A and B are shown apart, each in its own frame.
Chain A
């Protein structure tokens, strides 16, 4: 419990900043929503001018763009990118920072097992992600109800936002698993940005192609298709299972490697 609280304390600042950034981003987009609706025809024409693959890559669906859910699912891909970076940063740093900040010698000679250390840290990171997503969801719900021009399905809106939590969970787990393979991870940002942007670009390329059901497994960003969610009020089970598989495998690997890892002296 003491380790968990200590971790929470050390993460709270950055989490707060990420929450504010994501809410601010959503607020900026929502602020132009009414303008878009009032000139729907012109906006559709503008977007229609983009080639089809570009629209697909950016997640733009012209038909539904002026409905609140359609609009939100377009801007949501940028929010997702933000959230993925946050989660990946958190995951990559949570275990590796003890070695980077040279405090491993302090923590790991305490009468606790390595797996207890991993558990406390993972739980703290998980808590921070939960907090991020809950606060973000409350904020965007409020914003959506303020700018809406007609009623929308609250259930679908919730399902869309819940994918944020899944995506974060996946990237958190990937981040932790990546970090345990480094003897000493000097800097977290290049690794986490590299992986997140890499997968995001791959996701965009996959989206632009046709017949991509199999290719979509490569990028977690493509596990949750907004058009599908809006149409079916649910998720595609195969991708949901793939996401869960990644999380379980990554966390299992993290435990196994971290428990066996040598913690070398600083020099």
Chain B
């Protein structure tokens, strides 16, 4: 049985677009990335899955059951929303105990463990916490009942890099223990680090569904070079280079393929500065759009 299954899920809000005909499965034990720009419909899909909003048509199920008809299925789900808000007047430990009280099992030990890993002070009042610390409360809250399915909606925003690292370790450990991870993000690097499979969503539609390893083979790099003297355009015209732009002493292009070939090429000339970075998501999407265009 799949941990998550979207079947022709459509949600429309009056005139504005929600999500259209979303179709995919997440198998148990997987770490699944769900990636798309802000406003693409990631949260809409997740909220429908959790039964917070009702589908216009189609269905979204967890372990074969809809959260709306079978609320009990949510006992196996841990959810970390992108923005974390809790009952302000409560202390952290009171909130966590309240959260635990819904699951009919003893979570005290796990709460202490998680709080230690995330370096969270349980005695503080929630009003007094910074955004990052609230996020930590959210993480502990989402994991304290050892859920079989963990749904993360842009989980790392607000966490410093060290905490992000700890958080990813925590999630990997949960996955090793058998939990399925559904990871929504607009940061490609994050998803690339974590996930086995990935779905790309744009403007409410799933445009690509593939193994992370396949996406890596399509590994694009954005390369920016500064040269001491102007350089001829033809120098960089080689296989794998696209969107080549030259301006003054700046060279700017996307490269796809064996990174060694382009490094060798660059080493043949005199350069003042070199920057190799992940292309942003928009550029990756653009690439998929273009590919779709080719096949049509």
Contact = CB atoms under 8 A, between A and B. Distances in A.
Contact of B86 (A103, A108, A116, A266): A103
B131 interface: no
A10 interface: yes
A263 B53 contact: yes
A111 interface: yes
B141 A106 contact: yes
Interface string A247-267: 000000000000010111110
**Is the contact region of chain A dominated by helix, strand, or loop, or is it mixed?**
loop
Nearest to A104: B52
A236 interface: no
Interface stretch (B66-74, B107-115, B232-240, B268-276): B66-74
Residue among B54, B72, B87 having the largest count of chain A Cβ atoms under 10 Å: B87
Contact of A2 (B50, B86, B89, B102): B102
A101 interface: yes
Interface in B51-100: 51-54, 71-75, 77, 79, 81-83, 85-89, 98-99
A102 B83 contact: yes
A263 B52 contact: yes
Residue among B73, B81, B82, B88 having the largest count of chain A Cβ atoms under 10 Å: B81
B50 A10 contact: no
Contacts of B103: 111
Contacts of A10: 87, 89
Nearest to B72: A111
B167 to A, nearest CB: 19
A110 interface: yes
A111 B74 contact: yes
Nearest to B95: A106
Residue among A102, A104, A106, A264 having the largest count of chain B Cβ atoms under 10 Å: A106
Contacts of B133: none
Contacts of B99: 106, 110
A105 B101 contact: no
A102 B82 CA distance: 12
A112 interface: yes
Contacts of B83: 102, 266
B222 interface: no
B43 interface: yes
A186 interface: no
Interface in A91-108: 101-106, 108
A260 B83 CA distance: 24
Interface in B273-291: none
Contacts of B75: 111
Contact of A102 (B52, B85, B98, B141): B85
Contacts of A116: 71
A111 B87 contact: no
Given A2-B101, A2-B102, A109 B85 contact: no
Given A105-B52, A105-B79, A264-B53, A111 B71 contact: yes
B7 interface: no
Residue among A102, A113, A266 having the largest count of chain B Cβ atoms under 10 Å: A113
Contacts of B98: 2, 6
B47 interface: yes
A244 B54 CA distance: 32
A262 B44 CA distance: 11
A254 to B, nearest CB: 17
Interface string A65-106: 000000000000000000000000000000000000111111
A160 B101 CA distance: 42
Contacts of A260: 54
B71 A101 contact: no
Contacts of A262: 52-54
Given A101-B85, A101-B88, A102-B83, A109 B50 contact: yes
Nearest to A259: B68
B115 to A, nearest CB: 17
A112 B71 contact: yes
A260 B53 CA distance: 8
A263 B47 contact: yes
Contact of A106 (B47, B53, B86): B86
7 contacts: A102-B85, A106-B99, A106-B141, A109-B74, A109-B77, A110-B99, A111-B73
Given A106-B85, A263-B52, A266-B83, 11 more contacts: A10-B87, A103-B86, A106-B86, A106-B99, A109-B74, A109-B77, A109-B79, A111-B71, A111-B75, A262-B52, A264-B53
Q: Across chains A and B, which 9 residue pairs bring their CB atoms closest together, nearest first?
A: A102-B85, A111-B75, A262-B53, A2-B101, A110-B102, A111-B74, A113-B71, A263-B52, A105-B81
